[in-house]
Amino acid sequence: MKKGGILALIFISVVINYMDRTNISVAAAAISADLNISKVEMGLIFSAFAWTYSIMQIPGGMLVDAVRIRILYPFILVAWSLVTLVQGLVSSVAALIGCRMAIGFFEAPSYPANNKIVTQWFAEQERAGAIAVYTSGQFIGLAFLMPVLAVIQDWFGWRGLFIVSGLIGIVWAVIWYIFYKEAPTENTQANTQANVQSNKTTAEPANATPVSMQNLKLAFSSKKLWGIYIGQFCLGGTLVFFLTWFPTYLAEYRGFSDLKTGFLASVPFLAAFCGVLLSGFVSDLLVRKGYSNEFARKTPIILGLFLSSSVIFANYTDSTLWVTFFLSLTFFGNGLASINWVFVSLIAPKHMVGLVGGCFNFIGGLSAVIVPILIGFLVQDGDFRPALALIAGLAFVGLFSYLFLVGKVETIEMPIAENELEAKA
């Protein structure tokens, strides 16, 4: 399989991944009315996915380093899709929370796996573009899926929405297993030998790496890594608002119908899609032209976080056009900054890409634990203005993190003791 085919597989998997994360937001108003669920309770349901998703990021990253991707990916796809389907059969807050926790548990290894696939298949100067393509799946997929999910719910109800979503994921798991091949070094139909050799010089070692306490200590003691961890948390805060409370904001605070909400909600996702593709390919182009990683990789993220703070301006207009504009600009900025996964490949020691990816997504996932609950409390009286102020504040924190903590973009050196150990081996 060629690189384009690999990206297509990851892209569609990301679309399905986010479909199963966000269908709850499309169904939220109907579920609340049907089961008499309050905003605080709905905030807990929104957050429940991230409880297990965050906790399992580090174990999930370790699992990615230890298990073949061709086996691991279809397994987790089937598992979270089955739980998505079961959501359509439950009738209590506790059961919905349990289902969301199970989905988070099984989705946890997916993004570390995506990053490992790109690290193995693509040379360093190609990775930001590759990451941009598959990351765009969460935006372009949802841009088109939001109206589709709204129509499915209109036809089959919120229960049918979950059942249809689950069936799609199960079918895709079978397709993934049939067509996916392992790393380029094992794929006889990969690119030319020159490209494969280029990948070997930059990719993670093909053999599984034992996890040690020394590796864990390094993953949590580096200022550079904490810089990207905090940045991921702040980016996640904006993303989780759009994935959870955004349709409720449009339907209840702005007073739009369910179908109108579905179509208007797609506009910011299209903007985010444009942002992430622009960011990835421009960043790779700058690297190829000889610009430093500090400029080529950091600039889109810093600019994107700055633009994300424009969400605050939606608090000062009643115009549907201007509200849509500011929210779209906010999500465009979030997309622009979403190539931050490339820093995992650039900064993490090569034997720790999976582990650092897990830590990175663990900290980012905490935003999905905290922000939905916090917004639930902030909007109890129906006023979403404090929630938008929170999202703007997070954008500035992320901006400062990349400015002052990440520093020079370079691979972290392994501790001397570990270098000596490897030399002896």
pLDDT in tens, 282-315: 887 888 888 877 788 888 899 999 999 999 999 9
The predicted-structure confidence for 123-142, as pLDDT tens digits, reads as follows 776 776 777 777 777 777 77
CA distances for 402 relative to 131, 188, 290, 297, 341, angstroms: 19, 40, 21, 11, 13
* Tokens 């150990």, located at residue: 421
Encode pLDDT of 183-205 as tens digits. Answer: 655 443 343 343 333 333 333 33
Between helix 57-66 and helix 110-121 the angle, nearest 10°, is: 40
CA-to-CA distance for 272 and 245, rounded, in angstroms? 17
Predicted local distance difference test score (pLDDT) of residue 198: 37
How many residues are listed for the chain in this entry? 425
Are 160 and 64 spatial neighbours (Cβ–Cβ below 8 Å)?
Answer: no
With beta carbons less than 8 A apart as the criterion, state whether 354 and 204 touch. yes
The full DSSP string for 267-313 is HHHHHHHHHHHHHHHHHHHHHHTT--HHHHTHHHHHHHHHHHGGGGG
CATH number at residue 368: 1.20.1250.20
Residue 197 pLDDT: 39
Closest CA to 132 of 286, 314, 282: 282
At 379, list the tokens.
Answer: 């909007």
3-state secondary structure of 244: coil
Report the candidate in 19, 266, 27 with the shortest Cα–Cα distance to residue 160: 27
Give the three-class secondary structure for 154: helix
pTM over 0.75: no
Taking the alpha carbons at both ends of the chain, their separation in whole angstroms is: 34
Q: How many angstroms separate the CA atoms of 275 and 134, rounded?
A: 13
Per-residue model confidence as pLDDT tens for the chain (425 residues): 677 788 888 888 888 888 888 888 888 888 888 898 888 888 899 889 888 987 887 788 788 878 888 888 999 999 999 999 999 998 899 999 999 999 999 998 888 888 788 887 777 767 767 777 777 777 777 777 777 888 888 888 889 999 999 999 999 999 988 888 776 554 433 433 433 333 333 333 334 455 567 777 877 878 888 989 999 999 989 988 988 888 888 878 887 766 676 677 788 888 888 887 788 778 878 888 888 777 888 888 999 999 999 999 999 998 888 998 999 999 999 988 887 877 887 887 777 777 887 788 778 878 888 998 899 889 888 889 999 999 999 999 999 998 888 877 777 776 655 444 444 44
Structure tokens at 420: 């000596």
* Domain containing residue 384: 3-424
Phi/psi for 79 (5° steps) reads: -65, -50
What pLDDT, on a 0 to 100 scale, did the predictor assign at position 342? 78
**CA distance to 121, 233, 293, 407, per residue, from 297 (Å):** 20, 18, 5, 12
In contact, 349 and 362? CB cutoff 8 Å: no
Residue 292 has a pLDDT of 79
> Cα separations (Å) of 106 from 1, 9, 51?
26, 18, 12
pLDDT of residue 258: 62
**Number of separate domains in the chain:** 1
* Residue 175, number of CB atoms within 10 A of its CB: 14
Q: Distance between CA atoms of 251 and 259, rounded to whole angstroms? A: 9
What pLDDT was estimated at residue 70?
Answer: 83
Neighbours of 421 (CB within 10 A): 13
